[in-house]
Chains A and B, each alone.
Chain A
Amino acid sequence: MVKKSKAPSKTPFYAALAVIGLVGVGALAYVATRPSNAATTVDPATITAGEPQGYLLGKADAPVQVIEFADFECPACGQFATLAEPDIRKRLIDAGTVAYRFYDFPLPIHKNTWMASNAAACADEQGKFWEMHDQLFNAQDQWNGQATSRPKSKFQDYAKAIGLDVGKWEACYDAKKYQPRIKANEQMAIKRGASQTPKFVIGNKMVGGAISYDRFKTYVDSALSLAKADSSKPRGSGDSAKAAAPTKGPGGQ
């Protein structure tokens, strides 16, 4: 700030502001558009090649197929699950537009995430994967690696809260019955190039981060228009099977 009689030249100040501004804008543009965050086009053929290990929500034959690679202990996954996902379920999945599949992608930096995936897989055995999914994400701060090194008692509370046969769930949990499935899901995420969590494959686009409902819907709309364009093409054109592929997700559950 300048005051008193003789003010110095403002040119160096404006030059400094310009430099800071350029560096700042450049840095922000880089982080907002770097490859790990921007949507990339993927080969739809590889999407259908997955093992049927994902947890399905919605109608399996919905026009837009979405898969999510997520880590139960990742804060961004929790943010997405609690902020954007309720709207996605209500407006896109329940409406029959989207078939949504969740694949475990437990990251090594999170020490309780494998146990959380294990808890969810055992809930799935009783048909309540999504109820456990919601419990885990809603209360992430209660059982994550920073909160405890023994999360089982918390998971047990959630199992009770969602009405599971807790004895059966516990036997499954202790036996780590679904470790091979979780491992397979993790391998699939790596194979698909999921470099971060959460990562989504929406039609033929792959996008990462705790994206908003609006952004998610933009990709769904784009996949939907591809599906519509394909269905309006005459049969036997030769391209139809290939063009339909982008909106088809993994092989199903």
Chain B
Amino acid sequence: MILGMLALIGVFVSTYLTLYKLGYIGQLQCSIGSCETVNTSPWATFLGLPVAAWGLGFYVSALALAMVSIQEKFADSRAFSLAFVALTGWGVVFSGWLTYLELFVIDAICIWCVTSACIVVVMFVVSLADLRGFRAA
């Protein structure tokens, strides 16, 4: 359930950044860091799509997975826990790479990107705890 709530928050953060990238939002609310520098850099696009759109896809997938996994018939399914660990683990790697680019290549930090990275890390930790719960049971 925590994963579902975190995923939904992530959906909104990534939607905000995607809307900015697509030109629907003039300026980002960015009290800390240089969001525009990061989001208009060449690294803000990955395989032809805005990185924020990839993030949106990630969070929507995680939300869908969370919604399915809470159904009664899947209550004892370990597969969902494994899927969450795999998905959020990939998210941590991707976010880590993006944070590295911000810190050492672009030389600017985007508070929204950092927020998203934090959400992904927390989701990964929760997923690991969930999987450990299965092992202990």
Contact = CB atoms under 8 A, between A and B. Distances in A.
Contacts of B130: 1, 3
Nearest to A38: B26
A90 interface: no
A141 B11 contact: no
A196 B36 contact: no
Contacts of A209: 23-27
Nearest to A24: B12
Given A1-B1, A1-B69, A3-B76, A24 B11 contact: yes
B133 interface: yes
B26 A1 contact: no
Interface string B24-44: 111101000010110111000
Interface string B10-28: 0110011001001111110
A65 B131 CA distance: 62
Q: Chain A, interface size: which category?
A: 35 or more
B69 A2 contact: yes
Q: Chain B, interface size: which category?
A: 35 or more
Interface stretch (A41-49, A71-79, A233-241, A244-252): A71-79
Interface stretch (A13-21, A97-105, A114-122): A13-21
Given A209-B27, A211-B23, A7 B108 contact: no
B25 A31 contact: yes
Given A1-B130, A24-B11, A76-B26, A13 B76 contact: no
Contacts of A208: 26
Interface of A: 1-5, 7, 10, 13, 16-17, 20-21, 24-25, 27-28, 31-32, 36-37, 74-76, 78-80, 83-84, 141, 146, 196, 208-212, 215
Interface of B: 1-5, 8-9, 11-12, 15-16, 19, 22-27, 29, 34, 36-37, 39-41, 66, 69-70, 72, 75-78, 80-81, 84, 107-108, 130, 133-134, 137
